[in-house]
Structure formats: C-alpha cells, structure tokens
Structure 1
Amino acid sequence: MAQQAFKVASQEVTTYINRYWKYSPSPLSIRQLMDFGRTATSQDSYRYLRCELPIRLAHIMKELHHLPNILMEMPSVQTLNGWYSQSLSELIEFREKNADNDSDCMVDKFTDLIHNINQRHSTVIETMAKGIMELKTVVKNHSLDHSSLQYFLDRFYINRTSMRLLITQHLTLFGDEEPFKRHIGCINPNCSVMKIVESAAEDASSLCDQYYMAAPKVEIEEHNAAGNLSPVTICYIPSQLHYMVFELLKNSMRATVEKHIEGYSELPPIKVIITAGKEDIVIRVVDRGGGVPLNKLDVVFSYMYSTAPDPQQSLFDAERSESISPMAGYGYGLPLSRLYARYLNGDLKLSPLEGYGMDAYIYLKRFSVNANEVIPVFSEAATQRYKFGNLSGDWTCPQ
C-alpha cells in the first residue's frame, strides 16, 4: 500500500514538473530585491513567491531527472530528490489550490511552510556532495561524464542559491528572523568591502593557525578609482561576499604555509587589493604559494576534485555562516565561490604563476541595478547536453 502511495505521489510530482518547467523564471536584480524590501507588503511577497518558487524548483528537478540512472540510485541523491519532491508538492498547494486567497492567515501559513522548506534544504550541498562521493565508490572515474556532471552541479547549486535568497529575504522581512541593523532583508545597501575582507582574513588566519600553528599576514589595500577617495562600498549580500573572500584566503594561506613553512624564518604575506571602477568592483588576492599549472585550472574548479582528505566537518555555507569550514575537504570551496560571484552577474577567476604563486580575482557589479540573478533555465539545449555530453567537437583536441 505504501509503495503504491509513493508511486502515485511520484507521478503527481512528475506532472507538476512537466507543467511548471514550461514557465520561464523571473530573475531579479539586487536593486529590485532591495526596492521590493522597502515598499512591498507580505501579501506582495507571497503572491510572487507562490508563483516563482515552483517554477524554479520544476526547472532544476527536470534537469535532475535527466542525470544518469546510476547517480539517481545513490542513497543521498534519492534523499535529496525526496526533499525537492515534497517541497514542490507543498508549494503547489498555494499555487493552485489557494490561488485566490491572500489573507493574512494564508500568508502566515505560507511563511511557516517556506521556513520549513528552508530548514529541510539546509544541507543540500553536503547531501549532493555525499551522493557524488557515493557514485565515485561504485563507478571508476574514467567512465564518468565529468563535463555533464559539472554542468548540472553548477546549475543545480545556483538554482539552490537563488531559491534560498528569495526565501531568506521573505523570512527576514516578514517572518520571525531578525534582520541585521541597516540591512534590507539579507542585503546590505552599503556593505564595506574592506570590513568584509578584514573579517574573512581574520577567520581564515584563525583556521590556518589551528591547522598549521602558523599563518601568513594579510596586507590589504583599497583604491577607489570611481572619482572619489571614499571607502569602497557595494550593495550586496555580506554572507556571500564573506564566503568568496574567505575561501580564496583560506586556499592562499594553505598553499603559502605548505610551500614556505620549511626553511623560511617568515612566511611571505598575502596581499589583497580592493578597487572600485566605473562599472566593477574587483578584489584581487595575491599569494606566493607556488600556483598551479595552467592545465590544472579546470580541475581546481571541479566538484570531483580535492587535494585534501575527506572532511570530518560539514561544508561552510554562505547562508549558514556560523558553520566552521575545514581547511580543505570536499573541494567545493572554489566552485561554490565562483557560482556565488556569477549568480549576481560577476565572476571569479584565477591567474596562476606556476612555481611562484596565484592571483585570484573576484569581480562584482558596482551598481545594484546591474547585479542581476543569473539562473538556469531548462531547455532542449540542456537535454542535448545531458544526452550527448559536450557537443563542441569542431576543435582539435591536444593530447
């Protein structure tokens, strides 16, 4: 009986997925989120989210179901699929069965629901990471389609980030979560980049000192080239910016200590340069940790790669900044950092000097109106990518 009920529920979820992925998501900019937070009511937020969240869920679940069956059979991935299916079913209750009811009582019920969804999905990153590790134990690396898996995980994690931002913004503005002073939801309209870098450097130094009994100094410079000498500020989500800078500094410190700890009386410092131009704000991290060969850059950003043993602690998550990050482990720090940058129309790039060190760059949009959500949309192109892998076969391939 239970198995039959599960089958019916699965069929119902599949129907919802096939219905809602045909709608296009409605991405927002940081400016829109901030303006919405200043003027909107809880009913306004409810009406937007009850329509938007099922669409974003359906798009990523459609892609999830195009993954190889062997990955879908992994226990952790099945658990994750169950969470997403339950969340979609619960959201549909408000999208379809209560479409004309936006009373205070209904808004309160919805707020409670998305709070529960937020809690349910709080370990999605770790759970998917476990699923990949489970897959690696049963499938030899050479038989995995790394490019398609990387393609999916980039899109999956950005979708997850976008949903958590929308939910957290609603809960902070209209729920029981306490907002930070001068924040609009989880957005700081005047986020000091220098203070974020200083905080991230302090956290990374403390962690490095715990592991190696030593940590290089961090020297920070700030240059506002946008026409004034005021400190560089940005309208941004502080937790995400802290995560990106922390991960770069953590990696730089680890590389620096491991390269220079023997035979050197003093570790070379790590330099951070913050610049503000007319369009972009750039954070540059420079170390002397030895760098990597150019052909290893793609590997560094791979979710299947880590130079460290399996972690004993949970992944650091930008939405749960109270967690403690291991010095290295899953290998997700750089891939997730790049996703956070790209999610709001920025980027994160590495420029190695093999044998000497690494230059890392975080690019952010200076104006909030240009910091638009960049989120995945399921399409026929995605289907072809999962079916045939990387289709760009019109270039020579050096061995």
Structure 2
Amino acid sequence: MRPVLAGIAVEMLSGATCGLRPRLGNLLLATLTTTVPPMSGAGSRRFRSTSSMQGFSEMARERSKTVTSFYNQSAIDVSAEKASVRLTLATLLYSGKSPDGHHILSSAKYLHKELPVRIAHRIKGFRSLPFIIGCNPTILQVVRTSKTLTSSLYVKCDQDAEAQFCKLVQQLLDDHKDVVTMLAQGFRECRRHIQDEALVRSFLDTTLCSRLGIRMLATHHLALHEDNPDFVGMICRRLSPKKIVEKWVDFAKRLCEHQYGNSPRVRINGHVAARFPFIPLPLDYILPELLKNAMRATMESHLDTPYNVPDVVVTIANNDIDFVIRISDRGGGIPHNILDKVMDYHFSTAEESAQDPRMSNFFNNITNSGNQSSPMHGFGFGLPTSRAYAEYLGGSLSVQSMQGIGTDVYLRLRHIDGKGESFRV
C-alpha cells in the first residue's frame, strides 16, 4: 500500500494523473528542481506549455519509481530477515594466517554472506523512518547506493573469484565514504518534519554504527592481503595510543591554524609508553573530532589573546580491562543549559550552530584529508557520532564541564584481549 500511495502522491504533485489540477504540483516541482523563466501574456499565465508539462510528468514518474522501489525489494526483504553474525575482534586477531591463503578465502566467504544481510538491515531501518523523511532525495540517494551494491554482492565467491570480490568490497568503501555527510545533509533538509527525536537518534546510532562495523570488516579483509608484520588485517598488534594521538594533533593543529592563525600547544601525559592490540580505524574517526572541538573552544574563548592561549592536555590511562583517553581544554566550558544536549544530533547550519563550540563540527568546510580522516562530516554530528562509535566498541564517551574554566572529555574503550569478553563488530 505504501509504494502505491507514494506513486499516487508524486503523480498528483506532477499533474500527470488524469483529471487532477496540476498547478500546485508544478509549482512545488519547479521550486525544488529548476527555475522557471517568467512568462508574459494572459494565456501564458494560465497555462503551461505541453513540453513543460511533459517534463514535470517525467520527473514525477522517475521520483515515483525511486520511492516505490524504496519499499519494494524482495531480495532485500529476504536478507533483512536473516540474523547478522558479529565476530569478536579477538577472534579476528588470533585467527592467524595460512601459507596457502585459506584465511583470506574464509574471510571472503564470511563477508559474502554477511555484507548483504547487514546492508539489508540498514535499508530496512531506512524504511522505518517517517515517510516524508524517508523520501528526502538525499536520504534516498544513500539507500540507492546501498541497494546497488547489495545486488552486486550476490556473486559466487571461491578461490578464483576472490580477486573480483575484493574489487566489490573496495567499491563498497568508496561508494559509502560520504554517507555520514549525506545523512547530515538529508536530516538537516528534513529537520522541520522531525517530531520524534528519540526515533531519529536511535536510527542514526544504529545506522552509523552498522556502517562502522561494515567498514571495519571490509577494511580487515582487504588488509589481509598485505604483508605487514605489525598488523593482522586491520588490527595493529602493538598500537601506541600516544602515536595515534600525535598524528591527529598535527592534523587538528593545521586546521586550527588555517582558521585562527594559531593553535594551542598539546601536551600528552600518562601511560605514554602503553602498547596493545587494537584497531586504529575507530580512533581515526573519534580523535580528530575531539581534538578539533578542544582546540576550537580554546581559540574561541581567547580571541583577544590568540597567541597566548592555554594548552590542551591529553592524558592516557591503560589497564587490563580498558584504556582511557582524556582531552582537557581551558575553553570556558559548556553552558549549563546545553550540557545535556551536546551528545544529541543537531541538524543546523554552521552559522546557526557556531555560537557554541561544542554543537557543531566547525572544520567541515576545510577538512579533506582522505577516506580515513573525513568521517563525521555534517553539522552537529561530531560528538554524537563519536559517542555512538565508542558505545559500539564496548566503551563510552562522556563530557565533564566546568563552566567558566574548561571541559574534560573522556573516551573509554575496551581492550580486544583484556579481561572479560571482547566486543563484537
């Protein structure tokens, strides 16, 4: 019934359905899709040309097909009914490598079964959105990309076809690299229609974490082909938190200097010599976001003395269960009236959200540093996405603020091979 209603609704807007008045639909479509040149003459004011009407009708029919197919995909329905099989990272770490490449084929067979199921779950999640949000063109584009790739993954996967399967997996990574940006844009376009913020938050948490899990598994499979003694697929055997923090400090400082002409000095203390098995990928998403926020808050609160600003301090604590990275700034803290909202998704423009350093991803317009450092693009998505990722990895992200002084952000992540069960991806 829903696809039929979608088709009828779009046809009504286009004026293509026989006997319906087209004026309102044509006006809406003209506003959304093209600029109609001014018409002169009484007759022109009353009637559209035949070619214009045909163009609008074709556009409406194309949109109708897209919306209808959104809710009508039997193969996706079948895959969405299957349960996802999540693996512990400890399993991936200790699975080992075989000289004959059997470990690569085993990984390919797992992905061959798992990826269509996970992508189908996500498409099903999009279908659960309110109709007017799910039909947003930007959000539909995200779904269309997923559907196209899902159909490509239904191929035979054996020793001979594994190379071709790797190309499909790489295509998955390439095609979905801008999904967070597109989701942020789509929800911002629909923000007036968002009535149930809890539903949207749950949807975004699930969708973004599922995306992270898919990217981790895909990256892991491709990395298994590389001969790197320090890594097992995507898992670094002896990851140094200090080194990965230093990498993203340099990145954030360059952005800060581009924006403000200067940047705070960053001091790293605590267990700086700690090393343990972990995945760099989620840290490559979360750390730049937290560091950028801290630097921005510091610079924004010291605009009168931009070349004499307090340091940002990063403290690393490691134990046998988890590890913690605390980022402390002297950026004035977060006002009490918005402290409870900083972990919520916000669908505002940069200008609207720039009043508060914590409410937006302030470097989005100038961030373009490759596929690992360009996540969480989208205004108001940085902190909530980081929180969702941390929770997905069995950890947490919390904020402690002293208004008038500064803010401490605590990133806590569970060890892969620590005490207790390893988290699953």
- The question of a shared fold, defined as TM-score above 0.5 by the shorter chain, is answered with yes
Q: Secondary structure at the match of 2:408?
A: strand
CA contact (8 A) 2:236 2:280 kept: yes
Give the Cα separation in 1 of the matches to 2:129 and 2:394.
Answer: 27
Q: Does 2:180 match 1:121? A: no
Cα distance change of structure 1 residues 4 and 211 upon mapping to structure 2, 3 Å threshold: closer
The unaligned stretches of length 5 or more in structure 2 are: 1-57, 355-359
Q: Structure 1 segments of 4 or more deviating over 6 A?
A: 1-5, 309-312, 314-317
TM (normalized to structure 2)?
0.74
Structure 2 counterparts to residues 129-140 of structure 1, below 5 A: 129-136=184-191, 139=192
**What whole-Å deviation, never above 9, does each CA across 1:13-36 have from its counterpart, x for those lacking one?**
632233222222111222112223
Structure 2 counterparts to residues 50-65 of structure 1, below 5 A: 50-65=112-127
Give the Cα separation in 2 of the matches to 1:105 and 1:249.
Answer: 45
Query: CA offset at residue 316 of structure 1?
Result: 6.6
Cα distance change of structure 1 residues 179 and 356 upon mapping to structure 2, 3 Å threshold: farther
Cα distance change of structure 1 residues 180 and 123 upon mapping to structure 2, 3 Å threshold: farther
Could you say which residue in structure 2 is the equivalent of 1:206?
Answer: 254
Q: Aligned Cα RMSD in Å?
A: 3.1
Structure 2 counterparts to residues 179-258 of structure 1, below 5 A: 182-223=230-271, 231-258=273-300
Q: Does 2:388 match 1:339? A: yes
**What whole-Å deviation, never above 9, does each CA across 1:188-231 have from its counterpart, x for those lacking one?**
1110011111222222122111111121111111238xxxxxx2
Give the Cα separation in 1 of the matches to 2:203 and 2:336.
Answer: 24
Could you say which residue in structure 2 is the equivalent of 1:108?
Answer: 163
Could you say which residue in structure 2 is the equivalent of 1:392?
Answer: none
Q: In the alignment, which of 26, 36, 41 is matched to residue 103 of structure 2?
A: 41
Q: In the alignment, which of 328, 338, 355 is matched to residue 404 of structure 2?
A: 355
Query: CA offset at residue 48 of structure 1?
Result: 0.7
Give the Cα separation in 1 of the matches to 2:342 and 2:247.
Answer: 25
The unaligned stretches of length 5 or more in structure 1 are: 225-230, 375-399
Q: Secondary structure at the match of 1:38?
A: coil
Identity over the aligned pairs, expressed in percent?
A: 32
Give the Cα separation in 2 of the matches to 1:287 and 1:4.
Answer: 48
**What whole-Å deviation, never above 9, does each CA across 1:62-94 have from its counterpart, x for those lacking one?**
111010111122111111111111122222x23
Q: Does 2:76 match 1:25? A: no
Could you say which residue in structure 2 is the equivalent of 1:149?
Answer: 200
Q: Does 2:415 match 1:372? A: no
Could you say which residue in structure 2 is the equivalent of 1:158?
Answer: 209
Give the Cα separation in 1 of the matches to 2:213 and 2:322.
Answer: 22
Query: CA offset at residue 295 of structure 1?
Result: 4.7
The structure with higher relative contact order (CA 8 Å, sep 6+) is: 1
Q: Secondary structure at the match of 1:299?
A: coil
Q: Secondary structure at the match of 2:248?
A: helix
The residue type equivalent to 2:176 in the other structure is H
The residue type equivalent to 2:88 in the other structure is S
Give the Cα separation in 1 of the matches to 2:112 and 2:376.
Answer: 34
Give the Cα separation in 2 of the matches to 1:11 and 1:69.
Answer: 11
The residue type equivalent to 1:43 in the other structure is L
Cα distance change of structure 1 residues 350 and 314 upon mapping to structure 2, 3 Å threshold: same
Q: Secondary structure at the match of 1:105?
A: coil
Q: Secondary structure at the match of 2:82?
A: coil
Cα distance change of structure 1 residues 115 and 233 upon mapping to structure 2, 3 Å threshold: same
The residue type equivalent to 1:129 in the other structure is A
**What whole-Å deviation, never above 9, does each CA across 1:149-187 have from its counterpart, x for those lacking one?**
11101110101111111111112223xxx5766222222
Instruction: Compare 262-271 and 152-161 and name the one that shifted more.
Output: 262-271
Number of equivalences: 351
Q: Secondary structure at the match of 2:263?
A: coil
Cα distance change of structure 1 residues 269 and 215 upon mapping to structure 2, 3 Å threshold: same
Give the Cα separation in 1 of the matches to 2:288 and 2:70.
Answer: 43
Give the Cα separation in 1 of the matches to 2:177 and 2:414.
Answer: 28
The residue type equivalent to 2:169 in the other structure is I
The residue type equivalent to 2:243 in the other structure is K
Query: CA offset at residue 340 of structure 1?
Result: 2.5
Structure 2 counterparts to residues 168-179 of structure 1, below 5 A: 168-174=219-225
The residue type equivalent to 1:199 in the other structure is K
Give the Cα separation in 1 of the matches to 2:164 and 2:182.
Answer: 28
Could you say which residue in structure 2 is the equivalent of 1:378?
Answer: none
Instruction: Compare 179-188 and 353-362 and name the one that shifted more.
Output: 179-188
Could you say which residue in structure 1 is the equivalent of 2:365?
Answer: 313
The residue type equivalent to 1:87 in the other structure is L
Could you say which residue in structure 2 is the equivalent of 1:388?
Answer: none
CA contact (8 A) 1:350 1:358 kept: yes
CA contact (8 A) 1:197 1:242 kept: no
Q: If you compute each CA radius of gyration, which structure gives the higher value, 1 or 2?
A: 2
Query: CA offset at residue 10 of structure 1?
Result: 3.3
Query: CA offset at residue 294 of structure 1?
Result: 4.3
Query: CA offset at residue 41 of structure 1?
Result: 2.3
Q: Secondary structure at the match of 1:41?
A: helix
Could you say which residue in structure 2 is the equivalent of 1:273?
Answer: 315
Give the Cα separation in 1 of the matches to 2:376 and 2:63.
Answer: 42
CA contact (8 A) 2:79 2:117 kept: yes
